[in-house]
């Protein structure tokens, strides 16, 4: 039998080494708190400041690489213990300590399971991408906008040769510009927002001139290449059988609903990068039964926190996009706040000062969040035959039928239809399915009140699907701690 590695014990554990988590870990470690920082990726940086692989480093560049390198240097210099390439599959809290079970190397090799124990836990797991379903969205060649940024940042590679970029928010221009730089042809950019929507965000953008300039640079790169964004335009369908052949675009109204009867445009392409905003990754805070609130502008459901990032659960903190999507700059500040609160709670620092009110970074993030919010009217327009849960092939019509059969909350819908029971564990379909139920349930309180009633998936382990083989390793039968037999 392979001996299990002894638990790694620390005063604080931080899950997620993006701007919030890495910052907090660095602050804690520098203050002398033994800290373990855990991330799925090979190096700190998160999504926005993702480290390129060494072989591509020379071709990388730009402000995001510099900012990411600064963060990585800060972590390395602070003395936090980094557990990279580690997938957290279980977090439990017992007897005043968190137990974090990780699989190193994604469980794909025999490095096997590992256990970290810590008194304090900061969850800084960032955001998940939301895609509002449309006919053909599961066709090979359709990729998420945020997923496309990972491909561009880590591999300098565009998702196709002839690319359509669609959806909402700042990632549209980022992906279009990145794909052009990577040598792809961008044949259309379809933005759910209109010029007026962007204009409303202008004051918040002006408060972050460097970020606004970066966005302007992306737009300029698009315009130089002759790509003009189509405002208030949405994807009606993706066509193609085994691979994407064309995307159908059409006008949408101010709420994101397709304009009925308006002419549509068919654009031949081999890839579609599409995303409709980001949602906080709440798997761990849900698993630990922390209280959550629904805030559409900050991405939907998020853990309830005080202004020092404390959740409702003892010694559990949440910071960064995982506690409400506000972007990387706001996440850095949140990481500092979380670390200050953790130090104070350990008796190793002064009580954290009250947050000074929304920072410019937070206002910028909130403006981006409003542009990327989930739009009920767009969800309402999903056709009955469109697949919503791609793992289990559950259509909108089946979700409506489940509502008619009495399913009024998301977990009941799961039982009625298997929606969310597949390998994505509900991450991809959850927001759309919940919104569809909420639209049916909505009374005078409106869709948001109905979303609160519909709820979210109950948190479950494993937090990612894990191979049984890696989980159980080699063992002798005699060492399985089989409990006493049940009564006869």
Give CA–CA dist 286/193, Å, rounded. Answer: 32
397 scored as a contact of other proteins (CB under 8 A) = no
138 scored as a contact of other proteins (CB under 8 A) = no
Shortest distance, position 412 Cβ to other proteins, whole Å: 5
Query: Which residue's CB is nearer to other proteins, number 155 or number 458?
Result: 458
Query: Which residue's CB is nearer to other proteins, number 95 or number 350?
Result: 95
Query: Which residue's CB is nearer to other proteins, number 32 or number 423?
Result: 423
Considering only residues 53-92, where is the footprint of other proteins by CB under 8 A?
A: 90, 92
443 scored as a contact of other proteins (CB under 8 A) = no
Among positions 366, 407, 447, 454, the unique one binding other proteins when judged by CB under 8 A: 407
154 scored as a contact of other proteins (CB under 8 A) = no
The span of 46-54, 264-272, 444-452, 458-466 binding other proteins (CB under 8 A) equals 458-466
421 scored as a contact of other proteins (CB under 8 A) = yes
Closest CA to 278 of 439, 168, 134: 168
Q: Which residues contact 267 (CB under 8 A, 6 or more apart)?
A: 164, 187, 188, 246, 247, 248, 249
Sign of CA dihedral 471, 477, 479, 480: positive
Closest CA to 278 of 376, 346, 365, 200: 365
Considering only residues 12-31, where is the footprint of other proteins by CB under 8 A?
A: none
Considering only residues 261-290, where is the footprint of other proteins by CB under 8 A?
A: 289
Closest CA to 116 of 51, 47, 39, 42: 39
Residue 254 has, within 13 A of its CA and on its CB side, a CA count of 5
481 scored as a contact of other proteins (CB under 8 A) = yes
Q: For residue 401, with 0-12 CB atoms within 10 Å meaning exposed, 13-18 middle and 19 or more buried, which class applies?
A: middle
Closest CA to 12 of 303, 461, 343: 343
Query: Which residue's CB is nearer to other proteins, number 43 or number 466?
Result: 466
- Lay out the site mask for other proteins across 91-110 (x = CB under 8 A, - = otherwise): -xxx----x-x---------
Three-class SS string for 214-240? HHHHHHHHHHHCCCCEECCEEEEEEEC
Among positions 31, 65, 84, 115, the unique one binding other proteins when judged by CB under 8 A: 115
Cβ 102 vs Cβ 87: under 8 Å: yes
Count of residues in contact with other proteins, rule CB under 8 A? 46
Shortest distance, position 288 Cβ to other proteins, whole Å: 8
Give CA–CA dist 70/207, Å, rounded. Answer: 23
3 scored as a contact of other proteins (CB under 8 A) = no
Shortest distance, position 2 Cβ to other proteins, whole Å: 12
Query: Which residue's CB is nearer to other proteins, number 33 or number 287?
Result: 287
Distance, C-alpha 403 to centroid of its chain: 27
**DSSP type of residue 480:** S
405 scored as a contact of other proteins (CB under 8 A) = yes
Shortest distance, position 36 Cβ to other proteins, whole Å: 17
Query: Which residue's CB is nearer to other proteins, number 99 or number 200?
Result: 99
467 scored as a contact of other proteins (CB under 8 A) = yes
Q: For residue 77, with 0-12 CB atoms within 10 Å meaning exposed, 13-18 middle and 19 or more buried, which class applies?
A: exposed
Q: What is the gyration radius of the CA atoms in the chain, in angstroms?
A: 23
Shortest distance, position 4 Cβ to other proteins, whole Å: 9
Closest CA to 315 of 91, 102, 115: 91
* Contacting residues toward other proteins, per CB under 8 A: 90, 92-94, 99, 101, 113, 115, 289, 405-409, 411-412, 414-416, 418, 421-423, 425, 458, 460-462, 465-469, 471-472, 475, 477, 480-488
């Amino acid at each position: 039998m392979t001996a299990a590695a002894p638990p790694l014990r620390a005063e604080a554990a931080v899950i997620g080494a993006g701007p919030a988590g890495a910052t907090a870990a660095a602050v804690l470690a520098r203050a002398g708190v033994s800290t373990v920082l855990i991330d799925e990726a090979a190096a700190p940086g998160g999504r926005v400041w993702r480290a390129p692989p060494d072989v591509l480093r020379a071709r990388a560049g730009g402000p995001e690489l510099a900012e990411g390198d600064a963060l990585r240097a800060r972590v390395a210099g602070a003395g936090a213990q980094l557990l990279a390439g580690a997938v957290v599959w279980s977090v439990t809290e017992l007897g005043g300590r968190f137990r974090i079970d990780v699989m190193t190397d994604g469980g794909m090799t025999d490095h096997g399971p590992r256990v970290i124990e810590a008194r304090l836990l900061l969850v800084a797991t960032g955001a998940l991408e939301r895609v509002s379903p449309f006919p053909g969205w599961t066709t090979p060649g359709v990729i998420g906008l945020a997923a496309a940024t990972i491909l561009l940042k880590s591999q300098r590679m565009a998702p196709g040769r002839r690319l359509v970029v669609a959806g909402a928010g700042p990632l549209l221009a980022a992906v279009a510009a990145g794909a052009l730089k990577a040598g792809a042809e961008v044949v259309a950019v379809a933005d759910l927002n209109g010029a007026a929507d962007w204009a409303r965000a202008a004051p918040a953008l002006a408060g972050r001139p460097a970020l606004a300039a970066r966005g302007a640079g992306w737009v300029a790169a698009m315009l130089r290449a002759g790509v003009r964004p189509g405002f208030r335009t949405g994807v009606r369908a993706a066509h193609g059988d085994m691979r994407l052949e064309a995307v159908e675009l059409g006008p949408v109204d101010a709420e994101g609903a397709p304009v009925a009867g308006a002419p549509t445009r068919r654009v031949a392409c081999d890839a579609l990068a599409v995303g409709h905003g980001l949602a906080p990754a709440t798997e761990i805070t849900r698993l630990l039964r922390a209280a959550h609130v629904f805030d559409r502008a900050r991405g939907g459901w998020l853990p309830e926190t005080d202004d020092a990032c404390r959740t409702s659960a003892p010694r559990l903190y949440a910071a960064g996009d995982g506690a409400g999507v506000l972007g990387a700059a706001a996440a850095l500040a949140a990481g500092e706040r979380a670390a200050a609160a953790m130090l104070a709670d350990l008796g190793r620092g002064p009580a954290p000062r009250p947050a000074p009110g929304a920072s410019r970074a937070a206002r910028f993030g909130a403006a981006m969040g409003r542009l990327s919010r989930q739009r009920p009217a767009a969800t309402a327009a999903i056709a009955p035959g469109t697949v919503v849960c791609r793992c289990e092939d559950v259509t909108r019509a089946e979700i409506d039928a489940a509502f008619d059969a009495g399913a009024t909350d998301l977990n009941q819908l799961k039982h009625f239809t298997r929606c969310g029971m597949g390998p994505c564990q509900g991450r991809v379909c959850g927001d759309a399915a919940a919104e569809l139920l909420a639209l049916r349930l909505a009374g005078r309180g409106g869709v948001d009140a109905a979303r609160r009633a519909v709820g979210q998936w109950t948190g479950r382990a494993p937090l990612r699907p894990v191979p049984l083989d890696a989980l159980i390793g080699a063992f002798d039968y005699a060492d399985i701690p089989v409990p006493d037999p049940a009564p006869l």
